[in-house]
């Protein structure tokens, strides 16, 4: 009875017993918060790493991509190991990359419950559509009384200065026919090195009639009734060449430019420098017989089709624009075909994270 009536003692043992689960709960929450933060950092690192490997050349082996993935993952402060789980390229050329990363994160307070590590894992997937990586230009016909040059310029990723990639120069033969034809030379440009890949030599003569004309001959009759016949011969270097093959995989921007002498634009007055990326002069360009509308900046990357051939033309500025629909690109002066080759590498703007 005395034991039951005793009021002496301490609450400390009870407080200790009550504090243990409270401290454990707080400790677990600290480890949990650390795991959430680690997972977020790993996700960001894996996203950056998987995007980075999409810009590698299409011929890069799976093992080399895996190495590059891990290096980029670590460089972006990713914990643990990143694994490239898949690379797939569908029939359209679109590439899909998938990857995972895992890390056994050491715990602090969870070790009380004998939980020494917590496995943290993330995944990422990226889809990359094919984009223009190569263009092939081939002149089909050039004309006019004025000597002129058409050039292709490209600006590399991360740079601001445009580099000349190709030139097409035309020189009038002086035959006096209504349209005017001459000699055209196409060259690729790599720094200070120019390489001729095509020459088109057009010869014009006056004739009495159009009988027994060679295949492909161009016939004209001036205002006085004088008849002219023009024949053009193409020489390719080498003979099997398809034209000026230009690597544009490293280019962020592309544009075409035509330079003409001031005399060519005296009537009516027109600019002497025409650019496809200039809204004031791009309307001299035709794509598959359709004139570019006034005030439009042309993106060459979208103007050149993947795996197909586009017929294009430039008007040198001697005629007023826009050209009547009935006339179309027949008023143009540079006629050429351009074919695009597309792949998924080197075009970060075409990349979309899907996971």
Domain range annotation of the chain: 14-128, 132-343
Output the pLDDT for position 3.
46
Distance between CA atoms of 313 and 325, rounded to whole angstroms? 15
Look at residues 316, 217, 208 and name the one whose alpha carbon lies nearest to residue 257: 316
User: 18-22, 46-50, 110-114, 298-302 — which one is most confidently predicted on average?
Assistant: 46-50
| Res. 267 pLDDT band, cuts 50 70 90 | low
Contacts by residues 93-96 (CB-CB < 8 Å, ≥ 24 positions apart): 93/129, 93/130, 93/306, 93/342, 93/343, 93/344, 94/127, 94/128, 94/129, 94/130, 94/344, 95/54, 95/127, 95/128, 95/130, 95/344, 96/125, 96/126, 96/127, 96/128, 96/354
Q: Roughly what angle, to the nearest 10 degrees, separates helices 12-53 and 62-75?
A: 130
Helix, strand or coil, per DSSP, at residue 148: strand
pLDDT-derived band at 349, boundaries 50, 70, 90: low
For residue 269, pLDDT beyond 70: no
**DSSP characters over 292-341:** PPTT----HHHHSPBTSEEEEEE--SSS-SSPPTTTGGGG-SEEEEEEEE
Neighbours of 196 (CB within 10 A): 14
CA neighbor of 147 nearest in space, from 113, 178, 185, 118: 185
Is the pTM value of this prediction over 0.85?
no
Query: Six-digit token pair at 283?
Result: 């309307």
Instruction: List beta partners, residue 154.
Output: 163, 254
C-alpha separations of 263 from 147, 171, 259, 271 in Å: 10, 15, 12, 11
Q: Which tens digit of pLDDT belongs to each residue from 133-177? A: 899 999 999 998 889 999 999 999 889 999 999 999 999 999 999
pLDDT for position 24:
57
Residue range 211-230: mean pLDDT, rounded:
94
Q: Nearest to residue 233, comparing CAs of 246, 252, 249, 217?
A: 217
Question: In sequence order, what DSSP letters do the residues of 221-290 get, joined into one string?
Answer: E-TT--EEEEEEEEEESSTT--SEEEE-TTEEEEEEEEE--GGGGTTTT--SEEETT-TTTGGGEEETTE
List Cα–Cα distances, 314 to 17, 72, 149, 179, in angstroms.
Answer: 89, 45, 11, 15
């Amino acid at each position: 009875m005395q034991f039951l009536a005793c009021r002496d003692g301490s609450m400390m043992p009870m407080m200790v017993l009550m504090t243990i689960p409270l401290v454990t709960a707080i400790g677990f929450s600290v480890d949990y918060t650390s795991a959430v933060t680690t997972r977020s950092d790993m996700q960001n690192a894996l996203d950056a790493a998987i995007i980075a490997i999409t810009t590698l050349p299409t011929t890069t082996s799976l093992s080399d991509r895996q190495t590059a993935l891990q290096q980029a993952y670590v460089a972006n402060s990713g914990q643990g190991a990143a694994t490239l789980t898949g690379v797939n390229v569908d029939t359209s050329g679109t590439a899909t990359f998938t990857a995972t990363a895992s890390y056994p994160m050491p715990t602090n307070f969870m070790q009380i419950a004998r939980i020494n590590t917590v496995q943290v894992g993330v995944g990422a997937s990226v889809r990359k559509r094919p984009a223009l990586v190569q263009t092939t230009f081939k002149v089909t016909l050039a004309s006019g009384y004025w000597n002129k040059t058409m050039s292709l310029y490209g600006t590399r990723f991360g740079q601001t200065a445009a580099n000349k990639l190709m030139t097409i120069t035309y020189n009038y033969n002086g035959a006096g026919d209504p349209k005017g034809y001459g000699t055209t030379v196409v060259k690729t440009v790599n720094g200070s090195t120019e390489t001729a890949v095509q020459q088109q030599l057009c010869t014009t003569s006056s004739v009495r009639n159009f009988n027994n004309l060679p295949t492909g001959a161009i016939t004209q009759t001036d205002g006085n009734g004088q008849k002219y016949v023009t024949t053009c011969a193409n020489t390719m270097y080498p003979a099997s060449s398809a034209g000026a093959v230009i690597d544009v995989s490293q280019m962020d921007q592309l544009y075409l430019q035509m330079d003409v002498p001031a005399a060519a634009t005296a009537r009516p007055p027109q600019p002497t420098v025409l650019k496809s990326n200039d809204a004031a002069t791009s309307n001299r360009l035709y794509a598959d017989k359709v004139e570019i509308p006034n005030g439009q900046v042309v993106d060459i990357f979208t103007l050149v089709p993947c795996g197909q051939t586009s017929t294009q033309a430039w008007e040198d500025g001697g005629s007023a624009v826009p050209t009547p629909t009935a006339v179309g690109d027949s008023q143009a002066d540079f006629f050429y075909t351009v074919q695009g080759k597309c792949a998924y590498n080197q075009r970060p703007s075409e990349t979309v994270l899907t996971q």
